Structure 1
Amino acid sequence: MFISKRQIISSGFGFFRRTGLHRLAVPFTGGAGAILMFHRVRPSQPRDFAPNLLLEITPDFLDAVISRVKALGFMIVDIDTALTMIAESSGQKFAVLTFDDGYKDTRDIALPILEKHAAPFTMYVTTGFIERTARLWWVELEESIARLSRVRIAIGERLFDLPATNAAEKNAAFATLYQALTDGSEEDLLAVIVDLARQAGLDPLSIPEELCLDWAGIETLAKHELCTIGVHTLTHPRLGKLTETDMRRELGDSRTQIEAHIGKEAEHLAYPVGNPVAAGVREFEAAAELGFKSAVTTRPGMIFPAHDNRRTALPRLSINGTWQSLDYVEILLSGVPFALWNKGRLVA
């Protein structure tokens, strides 16, 4: 019988919730702190077809997460303070709140909650989203499939003809195409999805216009005492799929543009997608050589003193919209799931 990844995760969290054993392991697996990763924050919009739901949480859940993090003894600090705390090994656990991409709802919905808690945060922005020249292709894919009753597209030499008349078929079509597209190059991925958007009557560049802040919004937010603006490249590519020259241009040119607009240094980076395919040793070394003080991945894990020597390869904990549970957050912050996943290694 096939057991899905979701079922495995659910079973694991259920075990820890019932037994509370994760709390006993915290002194060994909890590390010095954690960097939490968020994307969108907006009121719940129940819908049957929502493959990108994992990238959004509700305002109430963000509020509750911050309260729980503090109740667990974490001090919420900005990324620069966290780097100092890693180096000093003070014993006080820290949490850093990070928001990727540069969404309007970070300012409009998340910011009042962050202000309520006096919680510093880092917002990693993609300059192409700000300027409406880059594409949130995962949203395009969802929106295109939502509009179509059948998905007919070629990816390389493979032809896909997938039904999409109901939510189940649309979810299956999204999963199939997502896997096939992410196996290939950035160029092919973007070309295929723009073709699909054309079939669906969707303007791809209307999406960053609707969802993302412009330069005026970024410049204003950069002046907020709680906000640190970070770098998230020019076009949000999987850097590991690019040539060395293009990869370095994505990092360096985006930083230069951001600094010119906000009038201060942008010394912290988030790798787009951030998994091992998108960011590896080559990217970690390039970020260090380009002078970034830190760079975060999407690889899950706690922060340990050993990360002081791996500042451009820092793990994060994803606050996942399909698991909006405070028990889930507490179990993650124990560090136990990552120690088990990495077969006992605390720093993977």
Structure 2
Amino acid sequence: MDELDTCQHTLEQFKKSLECYINQSYIFVNIDTALKMIREKSEQKFAVVTFDDVPLDAYEKAVPVLLSMQIPFTFFITTGYIGTEGFMTEAQLKKLDNQELCTIGAHTKSHPMLRKVSNSFEELKESKEILERLLGHPVDYLAYPFGRQSSISHKVMKQAEKAGYKCAFGTIDATINDLSSKSLYYLPRIVRK
């Protein structure tokens, strides 16, 4: 599982990163397929391209590249950022959601360090509900803000399951393997900045 972040990359570097994975025999899949491959313990090397928050630059620059290369991708949305400066609007989010290659996931309402707030369950549940109302379909996947073990507790992982997510992602700098796939509510993602 890998996250490719264009915030610090030029478009040319972003394209080269994608091509590098292809040249190393990775296949790019959406999260539904990744979850199936994890459960089946697939031997195939795969990557999922993800973006956190709702950055306008990723929408304007990375999405056209991904669409032209036919690579699936996921945007994990911080609902409190929608429509604020530097982030996507509701209309852009709906347009993006209509792309067959795009999956929309949740990234909480206000991007808190969930381990340290008393309303962590509300952050998880309400961001899911807001996105589902806006998009008109279930939102099944979550990426934790900050994503490190120090920012997520076992309680928060249980809350993610209770809120109705199928799985959740952290930012452990590792690939998915037999050990990491035992906890679908704390899957690793490699962050590229």
TM over 0.5: yes
Segments of 4+ in structure 1 off by > 6 A? Answer: none
Pairing 1:218–2:185 present: no
Distance apart, 1:277 and its partner CA: 2.6
Distance apart, 1:56 and its partner CA: 2.1
Aligned partner of 1:241 in structure 2 is 116
Aligned partner of 2:53 in structure 1 is 101
By percentage of residues, which structure has more helix? 1
Query: 2:180–2:188: 8 Å Cα contact kept in structure 1?
Result: no
- Bigger mean CA offset, 55-64 vs 253-262: 55-64
Q: What is the percentage of aligned positions where both structures have the same residue? A: 34
Aligned partner of 2:161 in structure 1 is 288
**Aligned length in residues:** 193
Query: 2:56–2:88: 8 Å Cα contact kept in structure 1?
Result: yes
Gaps in structure 2 of 5+ consecutive residues: none
Alpha-carbon distance in structure 2 between the residues aligned to 1:302 and 1:234: 27
* Alignment deviations for residues 99-127 of structure 1 (CA, whole Å, 9 cap, x no partner): 01111112210011101211000000111
Partner residue of 2:152 out of 257, 279, 283: 279
* Alignment deviations for residues 127-164 of structure 1 (CA, whole Å, 9 cap, x no partner): 11005xxxxxxxxxxxxxxxxxxxxxxxxxxxxxxxxx
Query: 1:296–1:312: 8 Å Cα contact kept in structure 2?
Result: yes
Residues 291-306 of structure 1 correspond to what in structure 2 (within 5 A)? 291-306=164-179
The RMSD of aligned alpha carbons is 1.3
Distance apart, 1:89 and its partner CA: 2.0
Alpha-carbon distance in structure 2 between the residues aligned to 1:96 and 1:301: 13
Taking structure 2 as the reference length, the TM-score comes to 0.95
Query: 2:168–2:187: 8 Å Cα contact kept in structure 1?
Result: yes
Distance apart, 1:308 and its partner CA: 3.4
Query: 1:37–1:100: 8 Å Cα contact kept in structure 2?
Result: no
Describe the SS at the equivalent of 1:254. Answer: helix
Describe the SS at the equivalent of 1:83. Answer: helix
Aligned partner of 1:326 in structure 2 is none
Aligned partner of 1:113 in structure 2 is 65
Aligned partner of 1:204 in structure 2 is none
Aligned partner of 1:36 in structure 2 is 3
* Alignment deviations for residues 69-93 of structure 1 (CA, whole Å, 9 cap, x no partner): 0110111000110011111123111
Alpha-carbon distance in structure 1 between the residues aligned to 2:61 and 2:148: 28
Describe the SS at the equivalent of 2:100. Answer: coil
